[in-house]
Structure 1
Amino acid sequence: MLNKDNVKKIIYSAIGALVILVTVYLVSPLFISTEINEPLPPNINSSVAFEEFSKMNEDERVKTARNMTNEQKNQMLVQFAESGNNSRLDEDMNINISAESNQSSGTATFVGVNDGIHNAEGTAKIIPLSNNDSILRLENLKVSNGPDLYVYLSTDKGGSDFVNFGKLKANNGNQNYNIPSDTDLSKYNTVLIWCKAFSVLFGSAEFKF
């Protein structure tokens, strides 16, 4: 039989365990990290959604885009294309071109996706310099406006293996990008204009070396 002391011990132990469980339950939210990435509602006013999306930083746009439907993405890209926020850059060829290169060791023509949303046209050139470096020059470039457009030298049009040249400087005009000296141009032979936010191709130019 349990004496009074044992009964008290059992009761105190039960109360102590209950207190610990309640404390853990109440305090645990302070130590549990949570994350949510809700898509923009499908019925939200498109101009409001576009303005909100435009104000996000690049990482926020990438996270938000992961949870958007293809229809929402396309609607957003149409808004970007029609926004009128086009930019132009015309960089001069004020660089030391190798005399033996005849100014270009490779030329390729951009082919856009041409679906009315993702488009690109112009010419890409690999130009050797006198110091044995090379540049990627995009000439007469005209790309549909979009969020977070990047320039890649890739192994294919899928953007699975690429050299990142950074953000597209402008979606119109002529621009130069330094090619890292260790880049294997026989492998990375396709220029991509890639939308990082939505992971979609706008246009590509493949060199035939």
Structure 2
Amino acid sequence: MNRFLQIAIPVFVIGFIAGGAFWYLFSPLLIDRVVNEQLPSGITLNHARAGEFRDVDGAHRGSGKAQVLISDAGGAVLRFTEFEVTNGPDLEVWLVKHPDPKKSADVTASEWISLGPLKGNKGDQTYVIADGTDIDQWGSAVVWCEQFGVLFSVATLNPTEG
């Protein structure tokens, strides 16, 4: 019985830790977080820049629209509509100076600012851009995995007319 416990306890502990790590890393792939944020009513927002999310590779896919909207008072937001991206751990929304990053190294070689954690991997959502940020300097919006330094999806932000 003593020999059994010497083997069973370490196996159980290692299995428990490995199972927890596996669930942490791969459960986001099985669970969708759907968000449906509405824009605040009563303020006028003008389109400044816009783009479409695209796939980065076979494992990291994204679609939907990204728009930078500016209020008459001067504040700016980044708005995702019809948005969908592969879920993962520790995803964030970044504005990146590189206009069309194709891989993670393009993002890390460029300047970036974080707009905070991704609210959901599906649905309409809005992120506040800090006052004083010159939106014309930022070429793309990206969904970035902070924990592993991986690019999930990118939208090149082009100036809009009107």
Q: Which residue of 1 aligns with 2:121?
A: 171
Percent identity for Structure 1 against Structure 2:
27
- What is the CA distance between 1:105 and its match in structure 2? 1.9
Residues 182 and 54 (structure 1 numbering): CA distance in 2 closer, same or farther, change over 3 Å?
A: farther
Residues 205 and 154 (structure 1 numbering): CA distance in 2 closer, same or farther, change over 3 Å?
A: same
User: Which residue, 91, 94, 105 being the options, matches 2:37?
Assistant: 91
Q: Which residue of 2 aligns with 1:145?
A: 87
Higher helix share: 1
The one-letter code matched in structure 1 to 2:156 is E
Answer whether contact 2:49 2:68 (CA < 8 A) is retained: yes
Secondary structure, in 3 states, of the residue corresponding to 1:105?
strand
Answer whether contact 2:84 2:122 (CA < 8 A) is retained: yes
Matches within 5 A, 1:157-168: 157=101, 158-160=106-108, 161-168=111-118
Residues 122 and 148 (structure 1 numbering): CA distance in 2 closer, same or farther, change over 3 Å?
A: same
1:52 matches 2:21: yes
Residues 195 and 169 (structure 1 numbering): CA distance in 2 closer, same or farther, change over 3 Å?
A: same
The one-letter code matched in structure 2 to 1:148 is D
Secondary structure, in 3 states, of the residue corresponding to 1:128?
strand
Q: Which residue of 1 aligns with 2:53?
A: 110
Q: Give the total of aligned pairs.
A: 138
- What is the CA distance between 1:50 and its match in structure 2? 5.9
Rg larger in structure: 1
Answer whether contact 1:87 1:171 (CA < 8 A) is retained: yes
1:135 matches 2:77: yes
- What is the CA distance between 1:191 and its match in structure 2? 0.2
Q: Which residue of 2 aligns with 1:64?
A: none
Answer whether contact 2:28 2:89 (CA < 8 A) is retained: no
In the alignment, structure 1 segments of 5+ residues that lack a partner are 1-43, 56-75
CA distance in 1, matches of 2:121, 2:19: 19
Cα deviations across residues 180-199 of structure 1 (Å, max 9, x unaligned)?
12212222121010011110
The one-letter code matched in structure 2 to 1:186 is D
Higher strand share: 2
User: Which residue, 185, 188, 205 being the options, matches 2:135?
Assistant: 185
CA distance in 2, matches of 1:190, 1:207: 5
In the alignment, structure 2 segments of 5+ residues that lack a partner are 1-13
Answer whether contact 1:97 1:127 (CA < 8 A) is retained: no
Question: Over the residues paired in the alignment, what is the CA RMSD in angstroms?
Answer: 2.3
Answer whether contact 1:95 1:129 (CA < 8 A) is retained: no
